[in-house]
Amino acid sequence: MPERRNFLRGALLPATATALTQAAGSGTALASSWTLAYRLDAKRKPVAGSASKLSDAIRRGADLRIGTAFRHNEHIDTSSKSRELVQEVAEFRTTYLLEDRWTAGFMTLRVPISLPDGFGPRASMSFFLYNQDGTQAIARPHLDGLPASGKPGPSPGKSDPSMPKYHQQDSHDADTNAPSHNFIYDFEEFRFLVRDDWREVLSHSARGAVRSGSVKDLAESFAAGCEVKVAVRNLCRDLGDADETVDHEVFVQTGSCYYYTDQALFIAGTHPVVRVRAAVPLRYRSRGWDFGWLMVRTDGLVQRWLADPYTLQFRKSRVRCDLRWFVR
């Protein structure tokens, strides 16, 4: 098979795969905002960048998007004769850094899409999870209020002979309101793209003791209109057993922010967060995940408003966590 060199990647690509990167290389604006940190081939083998380059960027607060590609009749409609190549680039609004080395990302705003015409059959969230090694997972809390017939626990795995590129590893809670499973789909490639332009302005302990930066810098940046992102250390510790102490940071952008000027106290409400029991790699397990929103403060207090995915009942709780703050 002939090969061509793609100038953006600096790597030899098969001619049939060149279409996957033509769009990425066609505009200088994209190249200047988003860079390729890591790339895996169809067998999930590294072919460009590195896992350490990716984790270094996530540690600095970088945004993450992952590009993949698939054939229509292999992934969408196996009865179709169309082998059209479909490109996908998805945003992963919540990112994890585990053991200061392993990266994972979550789609937190996605609902079921039924290509090419519309949406899936049931109202739900599609909390896709991708690890840096290309292993994938999905949890799907249903939002339509239909009664569930099952109880949480392991479920029989499903195989589809018409989809040989799909490999389900396990399944959980199939007949509940919140089914999940871990899997691998052999996409044509995985491109881990980062926008690495956040600036860390404050790091402090769970009691608010400043380690670097200052609340003043954070407050001045927010007042000037900057976006704010926060890294919350060990946010998911209560989802694991006592002996599961995998260190982790969860990175999430904030929405509304507030500054109490007399107290020098900065407060922010975050975008949605999916919490998963910390492990390398990250995986969904029965009763090992939930989702919701956080309110974070520069004294280390983290207020949580989390939904039980099986009942959709929300509960409030509070913890104290080490926090790092970023602005852009």
What confidence score (pLDDT) does residue 3 get? 35
Per-residue pLDDT averaged across 240-262, rounded?
91
Instruction: Report which of residues 11 and 105 the model is more confident about.
Output: 105
Residue 137 pLDDT > 70: yes
What confidence score (pLDDT) does residue 210 get? 98
Strands (E) located in 196-247? 199-204, 210-213, 228-233
- The predicted-structure confidence for 202-245, as pLDDT tens digits, reads as follows 999 999 999 999 999 999 999 999 999 999 999 999 997 766 77
Alpha-carbon span 223 to 214, nearest angstrom: 14
Alpha-carbon span 47 to 45, nearest angstrom: 6
DSSP string, 105-145: EE--S---EETTTEE-SS-B--EEEEETTS-EEEE--B-S-
What confidence score (pLDDT) does residue 157 get? 79
- The predicted-structure confidence for 164-201, as pLDDT tens digits, reads as follows 999 999 999 999 999 999 999 999 999 999 999 999 99
- The predicted-structure confidence for 232-244, as pLDDT tens digits, reads as follows 999 999 997 766 7
Helices and strands in the chain, H and E counts: 5, 25
What confidence score (pLDDT) does residue 32 get? 60
CB 58 within 8 A of CB 64: yes
What confidence score (pLDDT) does residue 50 get? 98
CB 239 within 8 A of CB 288: yes
Residue 4 pLDDT > 50: no
- The predicted-structure confidence for 143-164, as pLDDT tens digits, reads as follows 999 999 999 999 987 778 899 9
CB 237 within 8 A of CB 278: yes
For the whole prediction, is pTM greater than 0.85?
Answer: yes
Q: What tokens were used for 324?
A: 């790092």
- The predicted-structure confidence for 54-66, as pLDDT tens digits, reads as follows 999 999 999 999 9
Confidence of residue 131 (pLDDT cuts 50, 70, 90): very high
What confidence score (pLDDT) does residue 242 get? 61
Q: What tokens were used for 17?
A: 């795969």
Round the average pLDDT of the chain to a whole number and report it: 91
Confidence of residue 18 (pLDDT cuts 50, 70, 90): very low
Alpha-carbon span 35 to 7, nearest angstrom: 13
Task: Give the chain's radius of gyration (CA, Å).
Answer: 21
Per-residue pLDDT averaged across 260-273, rounded?
98
Alpha-carbon span 34 to 65, nearest angstrom: 9
CB 155 within 8 A of CB 173: yes
H or E segment to which residue 21 belongs: helix 19-22
Alpha-carbon span 236 to 172, nearest angstrom: 19
Dihedral sign (CA 129, 130, 133, 134): positive
Residue 11 pLDDT > 50: no
Confidence of residue 252 (pLDDT cuts 50, 70, 90): very high
